[in-house]
Structure 1
């Protein structure tokens, strides 16, 4: 496997003494280039903590996290922030847009902060991404003048501006209606098929069914994994049934 991201014996604790909480208990995980991996588990199981630890958004207590040959857990914050900005993309349940900027400027922001001065080239790239994601024409809208699904699409455009090697998505459809959620997942599948790896946290088996592999977390550990590669990508119902069976097997 051509690994792009790996976590070895990853430990994350919160608090001290009697208040110590083991959020991650020596987790080992590898994600291949271009792979789509979903993480599922009950509330408090460590699934979001794992995403934050593997992306370098949160420091770890023990173990190591690597993006390619770069050990994230050894980088200083400035270098780590640069890796996140240039090699990773992030999509959250609620897109974190700046209200004083329009949709276009919000999308361009990560690339502009990289020091690029050519506004025209950035605008062209953003326009191409907006067309790809179905929100062309909304460039000058304020963030309050678009729907939740459109705002999430804008967030995906922003995450793709620097052509990341991997996208981290934390419940990206959690705040959307079923139609918008389906559209966003179809978009993420297309992005993945074009070569971008995805690590996605979800509680929804229908969402997880779109992944190549599902990791099940419980009490800060990965207790099981389900490969879905042998199932027809278009047979979401059958894939969803496998995910539900996997959840039941580990008591989720």
Structure 2
């Protein structure tokens, strides 16, 4: 496997003494370049903790996480932040936007703060991404003047400004209605087809069914995985049935 992310014996604990909780218990995982992987599990199973560990957003207690050939745990904070900013993109359930800025400025703000002073080029790229994600014409809108689905699209635009090699998405459709969720997943599938790897945490079988592979977590471990590549993208009913069966097997 030509891996973009490799985790070996990942351990993550919270708390101390008798109150210590092991959120990840020696997890091994690989994400291939350009692969779309979904992670599912019961509440408290470690799925979001795994995403934060693999992205370097959270320091692990033991084991190793590599981005390509670079071991993230050995990087200093500034170097680690550089990898996250330039190689990774992040989409969360609730996009964090500055209320005093319009959508366009929110999208380019992060890239502009990295020392990329050519505002004209940044604006041009942001507008191209807005067109791609279907929110052209909303550039000057405040964050309170758009729908949840439109705000999530803006969050995706922001995540793509630096052309990341992998996109980490934590419940990106969790706060959306079914129509908006379907549209957002269509966008993520298109982004993946263009070569960007995606690691997505979700509780929704229909969302997970769009992935190449589903990992099921329980008690801080990956207990099973479901390959979906052999099923055509048109066979969504079959894909969803397979995911539901996998969820039932681990007690979701």
Aligned to 2:144: 144
Match of 2:181 in 1: 181
Distance between the aligned counterparts of 1:110 and 1:240, measured in 2?
A: 36
Determine helix, strand or coil for the equivalent of 2:30: strand
TM-superposed CA distance for 1:110, in Å, is 2.0
Cα distance in structure 1, aligned partners of 2:26 and 2:205: 26
Alignment of 1:113-152 (within 5 A): 113-152=113-152
Mean alpha-carbon deviation: is it higher for 109-118 or for 29-38? 109-118
RMSD: 0.7
Deviation at 1:30, TM superposition (A): 0.2
TM-score (norm 1): 0.99
1:203 aligns with 2:232: no
2:19 matched residue in structure 1:
19
Superposed, 1:150-189 pairs within 5 Å as 150-189=150-189
The number of residue pairs the alignment matches comes to 252
**CA–CA distance in structure 1, aligned partners of residues 226 and 113 of structure 2:** 39
Aligned pairs for 1:63-102 within 5 A: 63-102=63-102
- In the TM superposition, what is the alpha-carbon distance from 1:15 to its structure 2 partner? 0.5
**Does the 8 A contact of 1:166 with 1:199 survive in 2?**
yes
TM-score in terms of structure 2 length:
0.99
Quick one: distance in 2 between partners of 1:175 and 1:237?
23
Any idea what the Cα deviations from partners look like across 1:65-108, whole Å, max 9, x if unmatched? 11111111111111111111100000000001111111001100
The alpha-carbon deviation at position 64 of structure 1 amounts to 0.5
- Whether the 8 Å CA contact 1:110–1:162 is kept in 2: the answer is no
CA drift of 1:155 comes to 0.1
Q: Residue 231 of structure 2 aligns with which residue?
A: 231
Q: What is the distance in 2 between the residues matched to 1:15 and 1:80?
A: 24
- List per-residue Cα deviations over 1:199-220 (Å, max 9, x = no partner): 0000000000000000000000
Q: Secondary structure at the residue paired with 1:210?
A: coil
Q: What is the SS of the residue equivalent to 2:169?
A: strand
- In 1, the alpha carbon distance for the partners of 2:62 and 2:225 equals 23
> Distance in 2 between the 1:165 and 1:110 partners?
17
Aligned to 1:51: 51
Q: Which runs of 4+ in 1 moved over 4 A?
A: none
Please, which runs of 5 or more residues in structure 1 have no aligned partner? none
> Within 2, Cα distance between the matches of 1:91 and 1:194?
17
